[in-house]
């Protein structure tokens, strides 16, 4: 006889109880313990996911602030280099700014693209 679920049908439980007194109670207790354990694991997994999402959001915000700060610093360096008639330093600083902007644009595009179908 086949069944689905953690507890066998009542007639089988009665058969187990006839074979060994208390066996049906042990089977039911085992199923209850398994359900309790599964619920605890799901709660733990949900909590871990929530903490991970909060960490990633904070990490992304910090990265954006650092990127913006670096861009402004490079823009200031470029302006100072032009005022000191050092065009190659200004060009290097502008290239760094372009790289930072490119990273932000690339990151935004990769997050908005739908996932590829693997065949």
What pTM, to 2 d.p., does this model score? Answer: 0.49
At residue 85, what are phi and psi to the nearest 5 degrees? 55, 50
Range of the domain at 57: 10-112
> Which residues touch 23 (CB under 8 Å, ≥6 apart)?
16, 17
84 part of a folded domain: yes
User: Mean of the per-residue pLDDT values for the chain?
Assistant: 84
Which pLDDT tens digit goes with each residue over 6-22?
788 888 889 989 999 99
83 part of a folded domain: yes
CA angle 110, 116, 117 (to 5 degrees): 170
107 part of a folded domain: yes
119 part of a folded domain: no
* Cα–Cα distance, 79 to 58 (Å, whole number): 32
* Cα–Cα distance, 24 to 42 (Å, whole number): 27
* Count of structural domains within the chain: 1
104 part of a folded domain: yes
């Amino acid at each position: 006889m086949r069944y689905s679920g953690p507890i066998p049908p009542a007639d089988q439980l009665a058969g187990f109880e006839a074979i060994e007194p208390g066996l049906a109670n042990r089977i039911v207790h085992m199923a209850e313990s398994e359900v309790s354990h599964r619920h605890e694991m799901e709660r733990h997994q949900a909590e871990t996911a929530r903490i991970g999402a909060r960490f990633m959001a904070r990490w992304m915000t910090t990265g954006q602030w650092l990127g913006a700060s670096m861009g402004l610093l490079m823009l200031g360096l470029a302006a100072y280099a032009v005022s000191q008639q050092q065009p190659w330093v200004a060009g290097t600083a502008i290239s760094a700014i372009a790289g930072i902007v490119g990273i932000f644009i690339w990151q935004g595009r990769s997050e908005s693209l739908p996932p590829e179908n693997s065949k």
